[in-house]
Structure 1
Amino acid sequence: MTLLKCATHIVADVDAAVERYSRWLDYKVVEDISVPADLAEAWGAPASAGRRAVVMQPASGSPVFLRFIEGDEVPGYLPIRTYGWAATEICVDDVEAVNARMIESKVFDVIGPPKPLDGFPNVKPMQVRGPDKETVYLTEIRLDDPTSGLPKPRSLIDRPFIMVLACPNLRATMAWMADVLGLEVSGPVAIRYSMISLAFNLPEDSRHELVTIKWRGQVFLEADQYPEGTTKRPAHPGALPPGVAIVSMVHPDFARLEGHWASPPVVRQGPLYGGARVGVLRTPEGALLEVIEGDALAWGE
């Protein structure tokens, strides 16, 4: 089961984003709208009202989405250098085949070729970066074990399954995830994390702490301790920040979230929201977390 529902990326050209994610990742458009003013207000981003927003679904048909919202380029923004949502991790069936496709695409730059994750030999990720500086991990899970907390893809490139959060104080974020959201948080582990080391020009063997965050044993978030030199993410006044701007999740217990809302729940329609109540929280880093009332999504759905 997963609580993850959507990753929202800010892009300069929605049509170009739709083209590359449909052609090279096999996603399809399920909604194409302008951002309603009240939704932009709920995000604390009134300047994003009226901007085009497209929701896309993976070839597997899983109702876990990518959303692309039009936004203006932010001078000085560098990926994997600021606090907040840092990357979207998508599960794939064959990472070597996906790597060949990414190279062929010439629109996604391979910034990390496929290799087993340090300390996790059955997890083989690669990393790419798109034209809007979006960082995407494409990960093959090389085991079929329901107790692993990891998904089994149902298409070559399936759904987002983990969202990565860059933290200034990992333990404060761990406590918030457990106390506010009621999630299971693993103990910190320090691994060789090439994306962070490369971004900060650190030695290749540098280690960085991270935790995984679960719901009933199923991983759907990762929180990383970022090094000295990380900064607050720049943004245009009143607009959504660049990169991964919002993560959306479902939660079955809105009562426990009372008193924590940055924007209180209201009913919202569309493929992402499905007529449920939706509220907005902010993580300790200030990252936007959109919460949709509802039960966890089973792997087979």
Structure 2
Amino acid sequence: MKLLRAATLNVRDLKRSEALYRDWLFYRTVESGVLARDLACSWGAPNSAGLPYVVMQPESGADIYLRLVQDEPHPDYEALKTYGWAAIEICVDDVLKVNERMLQSPFKIIGPPRELDGMPAIFPMQVQGPDDEIVYLTQIRDDLPMYDLPRATSLIDRQFIHVCAVSDLTGALTWCQNVLGLSFGRDMDIVYTMLANAFGVPFEQKFTIATLTHDRDVFFEFDQLPPVAGPRPGWKGRLPQGVSLSTIVLPDFRERVREHAKWLITPPTVHQGEIYQGKRAATMRGPDGILFELVEL
């Protein structure tokens, strides 16, 4: 089964960002309102209660959502240079066509279409939105022996990977395996021009990345940042800047939250709406303060 359920992004102007994802990525709004206090508190962000939000769904109808929350940006936040959720990755049908579309859009192309080293099946590009959110747009051209990767059923389809930047790759991977019950996928050293540009290092310098899986579903990528990176700046008691948290459905939710309760911000609570569908959810604060929201299957 596919575990990814949602990514939550902080945006300055909700109406603007809603229109951006609707008009250029074909996402449609399926829910709107203001953040409930119990939900905000479950994220360790009580001061985010009452902020307006929308939940958006891809044109394909896949039940993997994008939640946009309106909040004031922190002046010290810089994309790609801090620990935490760094990007969302969306599968597309034809990355070259998407690239032409993005050239006409408000998104800034920060990584033109380029095959990954040693992985010709993956053909990604990267864009940056007006709130410094990073979106990978990736065409899957072939199967991989270890993973079942999605094929887009529309030009721009569903999220399939959330990218996380960490200070200690081994430690973060171990935590996810021990606490969330995920499996190690693979690690590799790759030329990562987007990160090289962000940190001002030679483009040929390689960065170590690794994946996490459940069965044959690969859905987390963790990137080892260089020592000059640091914690993400933000407002006290509010959601992190940029990509705030990743929401996944956890098949053994009950056992995981019972055995690893020390990582929970608040006890599990039932929530309504498209993302939760009346199920219990709880958020864990993991390595580098990264938020993992877990939903009961």
Q: TM-score, normalised by structure 2?
A: 0.96
The answer as to whether partners of 2:4 and 2:247 remain within 8 angstroms in 1 is yes
1:275 and 2:275 matched: no
- Written as runs of structure 1 = structure 2, the 5 A alignment for 1:144-293 is 144=143, 148-254=147-253, 255-258=255-258, 259=261, 260-293=263-296
1:81 maps to what in 2?
A: 81
Q: Which amino acid aligns with 2:204?
A: D
Q: Tell me, what secondary structure is at the counterpart of 1:15?
A: helix
Q: CA–CA distance in 2 between the matches of 1:256 and 1:34?
A: 29
Equivalences, count: 293
Q: Tell me, what secondary structure is at the counterpart of 2:287?
A: coil
1:122 and 2:121 matched: yes
Q: CA–CA distance in 2 between the matches of 1:172 and 1:185?
A: 12
The answer as to whether partners of 2:121 and 2:143 remain within 8 angstroms in 1 is no
Q: Tell me, what secondary structure is at the counterpart of 1:278?
A: strand
1:8 maps to what in 2?
A: 8
The answer as to whether partners of 2:188 and 2:208 remain within 8 angstroms in 1 is yes
Q: Tell me, what secondary structure is at the counterpart of 2:267?
A: strand
Q: Tell me, what secondary structure is at the counterpart of 1:263?
A: coil
> Percent identity at matched positions?
45
Q: Deviations over 1:120-163 (max 9, x none)?
A: 11101000001011010000011156863211111110111000
The answer as to whether partners of 2:168 and 2:224 remain within 8 angstroms in 1 is yes
Q: Deviations over 1:162-196 (max 9, x none)?
A: 00010100000111111111111124211111111
Which shows bigger deviation, 278-287 or 56-65?
278-287
Q: Tell me, what secondary structure is at the counterpart of 1:289?
A: strand
Q: CA–CA distance in 1 between the matches of 2:144 and 2:227?
A: 37
1:90 maps to what in 2?
A: 90
Q: Tell me, what secondary structure is at the counterpart of 2:244?
A: strand
Q: CA–CA distance in 2 between the matches of 1:184 and 1:113?
A: 31
Q: CA–CA distance in 1 between the matches of 2:97 and 2:182?
A: 34
Which shows bigger deviation, 253-262 or 133-142?
253-262
1:37 maps to what in 2?
A: 37
Q: Deviations over 1:196-248 (max 9, x none)?
A: 11100111111111111111011000011100110100001111111000110
Q: Which amino acid aligns with 1:164?
A: V
Q: CA–CA distance in 2 between the matches of 1:134 and 1:59?
A: 20
Q: CA–CA distance in 2 between the matches of 1:117 and 1:2?
A: 23
The answer as to whether partners of 1:144 and 1:152 remain within 8 angstroms in 2 is no
Unmatched tracts of structure 2, length 5 or more: none
2:52 maps to what in 1?
A: 52
Q: Deviations over 1:70-125 (max 9, x none)?
A: 110101210000000000010101000111111111x1000110010122111010
The answer as to whether partners of 2:185 and 2:218 remain within 8 angstroms in 1 is no
